């Protein structure tokens, strides 16, 4: 069960007060990202939905909920959590390639809109919607902007959305698509440094689907963007013109762009050893607590490291996986058993994807609020591990 203990810690010493490993989410940094997106929303006259898949920590979602128009979700569990946080306020948009009748029946009780991922989903499940839940289609514009196809929603043979030519063909062939169609959803990017792809994609879709844009209430542009990306003026002009021309709402659903910078993972050195001329510092965490390190091959930033420092180490996780490595770092002072290592910018996906390989415990979770209070919100222990595997 989550526990709630609070203590006041300054920015200089809060890592020293924690039992490690520990995730820490900084409410101040979260507020900075939220304000950036709020400013963009005001500038472009659009609405912001936080993508829950980036971080499902309920206390963090409650902070986020105060500054966004709602949440975007990808499953019944996420939709239920989103509605629990929002209560009866705010928008919840769901889209999922794995949606079936059972999932739909449960999820729609929590959602204001559901975007069907395929024409098959649309024709099979649309009439199952009840009440005021709005129905939408996810379209694949078939515009690839992501170099790594593992994360490209528009890759060849993508499962994500109705291919634009297929939707165009269905409309021209007389298929019943427009009946009860409230919105259109698309997602083309990942960690984009520019809003130009959104401008290009909106223009393409409106030109290709004029009869759709003539009747829908909203369009959801997906996520994969940072608020300080280039070409914000072009996006704002594009969205405002579209709203004036069509009278529709426009949504975007950032996740990592809001949560990433707010999260840190604090670890401790548990051993130091030499291997073929490299000094290895073994930590009480692992890449299983930051799965995107292994997945992407990233080298996460470390607060205590210093480029050009005199003491170099290969930071390694404590599991038996040979590739449980974070990368090579230099430090101004030598590390020792007990030294603290703080990985920064890991607020997105780390917590949602973390697992207990080798039986290593998951990190506890803390939330650092604006007044400096450090709140211990989730405690992990053996009993949780045992219950997971049927031994509880």
What is the tens place of the pLDDT at every residue in 73-82?
999 999 999 9
Instruction: Find the mean pLDDT for residues 235-256.
Output: 96
Instruction: Find the mean pLDDT for residues 196-218.
Output: 95
What lies within 8 Å, CB to CB, of 34 at 6+ separation is: 64, 67, 68, 258
What is the pLDDT confidence band of residue 173, given thresholds at 50, 70 and 90? confident
DSSP line for 277-295: TEEEEEESS-GGGSHHHHH
Number of H helices, E strands in the chain: 13, 20
Looking at residue 6, its pLDDT comes to 43
pLDDT in tens, 349-389: 999 999 999 999 999 999 999 888 899 999 999 998 899 89
What's the longest Cα–Cα distance across the chain?
Answer: 71
Looking at residue 191, its pLDDT comes to 85
**Exposure on the CB side of residue 92, measured as CA atoms within 13 A:** 28
Instruction: Find the mean pLDDT for residues 248-273.
Output: 97
Distance of CA 149 to the CA centre of its chain: 18
> Are the beta carbons of 15 and 266 closer than 8 angstroms?
yes
Percent of the chain with pLDDT over 90: 83
Looking at residue 149, its pLDDT comes to 87
Distances (CA, A) of 231 to 68, 134, 187, 251: 22, 31, 18, 17
Kindly give the residue spans of alpha helices, DSSP state H, lying in 98-195. 101-107, 119-125, 164-172
Looking at residue 23, its pLDDT comes to 97
Residue-range domains of the chain with CATH: 5-26+260-388 (2.40.37.10), 69-254 (3.20.20.10)
What is the pLDDT confidence band of residue 13, given thresholds at 50, 70 and 90? low
End-to-end CA distance of the chain: 14
- The single residue listed with the structure tokens 């269905």 is 170
CA distance 369 to 358: 33
CA distance 90 to 109: 14
pLDDT in tens, 117-152: 999 999 999 999 988 999 999 999 999 888 888 888
Rg (CA), the chain: 23
Looking at residue 135, its pLDDT comes to 96
Percent of the chain with pLDDT over 70: 96
Structure tokens that stand for 159 in this block: 């499962």
> Are the beta carbons of 118 and 163 closer than 8 angstroms?
no
């Amino acid at each position: 069960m989550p526990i709630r203990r609070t203590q006041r810690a300054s920015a200089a010493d809060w890592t020293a007060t924690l039992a490690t490993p520990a995730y820490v989410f900084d409410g101040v940094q979260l507020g900075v990202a939220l304000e950036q997106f709020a400013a963009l929303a005001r500038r472009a006259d659009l609405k912001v939905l936080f993508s829950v898949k980036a971080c499902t920590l309920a206390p963090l979602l409650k902070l986020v909920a105060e500054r966004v128009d709602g949440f975007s979700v990808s499953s019944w569990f996420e939709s239920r959590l989103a509605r629990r946080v929002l209560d009866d306020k705010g928008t919840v948009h769901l889209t999922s390639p794995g949606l079936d009748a059972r999932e739909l029946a449960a999820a729609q009780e929590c959602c204001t809109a559901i975007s069907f991922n395929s024409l098959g989903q649309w024709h099979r499940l649309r009439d199952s919607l009840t009440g005021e839940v709005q129905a939408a289609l996810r379209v694949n514009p078939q515009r690839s902007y992501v170099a790594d196809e593992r994360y490209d929603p528009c890759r060849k043979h993508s499962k994500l959305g109705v291919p634009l030519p297929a939707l165009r063909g269905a409309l021209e062939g007389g298929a019943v698509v427009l009946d009860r169609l409230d919105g259109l959803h698309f997602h083309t990017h990942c960690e984009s440094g520019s809003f130009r792809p959104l401008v290009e994609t909106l223009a393409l879709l409106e030109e290709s689907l004029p009869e759709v844009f003539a009747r829908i209430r909203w369009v959801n542009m997906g996520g994969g963007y940072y608020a300080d990306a280039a070409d914000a003026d072009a996006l704002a002009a594009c969205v405002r013109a579209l709203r004036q021309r069509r009278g529709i709402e426009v949504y975007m659903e950032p996740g990592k762009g809001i949560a990433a910078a707010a999260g840190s993972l604090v670890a401790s050195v548990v051993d130091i050893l030499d291997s073929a001329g490299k000094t290895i510092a073994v930590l009480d965490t692992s890449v299983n607590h930051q799965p995107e390190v292994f997945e992407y091959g990233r080298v996460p930033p470390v607060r205590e490291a210093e480029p050009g420092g005199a003491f170099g180490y290969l930071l390694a996780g404590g599991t038996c996986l040979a590739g449980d490595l974070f990368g090579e770092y230099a430090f101004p002072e030598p590390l020792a058993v007990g030294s603290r290592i703080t990985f920064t910018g890991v607020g997105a996906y780390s917590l949602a994807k973390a697992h207990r390989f080798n039986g290593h415990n998951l990190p506890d979770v803390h939330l650092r609020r604006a007044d400096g209070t450090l709140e211990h919100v989730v405690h992990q222990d053996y009993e949780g591990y045992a219950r997971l595997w049927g031994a509880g």
